[in-house]
Amino acid sequence: MVAFHHDTLIPVRLEEQRIVADYHGSRLEVDAARYQDTEGRQGIPFSGGRLNLEYNRQLQPFRARGCSGDVGEYFRLASSSPMVRDAVQGAVSAIGSAPWRLERARLPEYFKGSERAAAALEEQYQYASYVWHKWTATGARAHLRDWINDILQFSLISGFYLGELIAPFEEVLINGKRRRVICPEIPLTLAPWTVEEWIFLDNPSNMIAVSQRTYDQIDSFGNSGPGNIILPWEKVIHSAYMPASNGDLEGRSIIRPAFQPLKMKQKLLQIQALGIEVSALGLLCVTQDPSMPMSEDALSTLQTNLDNWTAEQCNYLILPPGNHTVDFKTPSQVTPDLTAQLAALDGVIGKALGNSHKLMGISSHGSFAARSDASSEARNNLEHLGLYTARVVERVLHQFIALNFPLDAAQGMIFCPAVNHAAIVEPDKARRA
């Protein structure tokens, strides 16, 4: 068999287990068996099963997502910042409320005309349809929408989602016959802050297990259970959001680029709140007459009067004889106005969180075309998150189809149905106009 390199058109021959190529008159031989195993290293900075990819020293290594009982800095910011909550909840609500459906797989061209492949596709679709029915049944204790909520919430805030796969044996009607198969339930979500160690060999792509630390989880009777739990990798479903590579198991939280601006905004809000608390009633200044200074009794009486000045009572001030003056500074003169600084930070945070389109939509700034582009950006963001979520669900279906149909899997005939959703955001040009 002869193949050609797409750039230099160098003839390449496959001879037994060796690749032989003529490269500018030189003969190159590469053992084909070399491609069966991984030799390189991805270079993701792991140390003893712990990832050290966080560049911000304030968040390394476990501060970002915590460990065991500490939920981490990211979750604290997500629960205390309205903008983070809006970014996460907006995506979860839009995607979780969209109609979801299971689509029958199409037979690949490679298997066209194969009756065995067509039969395998039909059997696998019937099995997947039953699983889908379990996940979306009305009144079910755990629903697909609950799972979508967990996938998005933990992925966006902590950077990755982790769940434990649970699948009891059930009898399912496939091709008119009862067949005993294992059917997955909605996965049990595992909190990101319980992950103590990623256990892998050589490369994170060769995952073996995940180590959980759960010393802080105590039941109603005071029992804590095993402090360290080792879960085999086949027993969990894992997905990282915007990872540096497929070896980055912890992904990227949307709060990471917004961390410093969020801290700055919190500080400015504290300063403004303190200024309002101290100076909301204005400032009263009394200037003494140099030629007739006040007596100690007069100063004491005046100080007592000013100390008791509150908004709930009608105050008055009687000064002793002399050309003393009283100057009242209004609240607008003494209370700090940080509106411009906060608005600038809102813009930076909005871009970092991916919800700058909301700022454009609710503000009066920018042209109609700019606001239209912002709406288009919002749809793209939500469509991306919808596809990310569907990918997680499809992986679970694919895994259990392969387990229940091992002969089909051995022949490469796994036809996993697609998980899809309706349009998450429908453009409404008349309303926007």
What is the predicted pLDDT for the residue at 5? 44
Helix (H) or strand (E) holding 302: helix 296-307
Is it the case that residue 51 has pLDDT exceeding 50? Answer: yes
Read off the pLDDT of residues 321-378 as tens digits, 9 standing for 90 and up. Answer: 788 877 777 777 777 778 888 888 888 888 878 765 454 443 444 444 444 445 666 6
Domain boundaries, the chain: 2-36, 46-254+373-432
- Express each pLDDT in 204-257 by its tens digit: 888 999 999 887 778 888 887 777 889 999 999 999 999 988 889 999 998 988
Instruction: Identify the top-confidence range among 17-21, 186-190, 290-294.
Output: 186-190
Question: Is 127 buried (19+), middle (13-18) or exposed (0-12) by CB count in 10 A?
Answer: buried
Residue 8 — very low, low, confident or very high, per pLDDT cuts 50/70/90? very low
For residues 60 and 55, give the distance between their C-alpha atoms in angstroms, rounded to a whole number: 8
- Counting residues of the chain whose pLDDT is more than 70, the rounded percentage is 80
C-alpha dist (Å) from residue 13 to 10, 30, 207: 10, 11, 35
Q: Which two tokens stand for residue 150?
A: 């967990």
- Over residues 310-327, the mean pLDDT reads 70
E strand map for 190-330: 195-200, 207-213, 228-232, 236-240, 283-287, 325-329
- What is the pLDDT at residue 369? 44
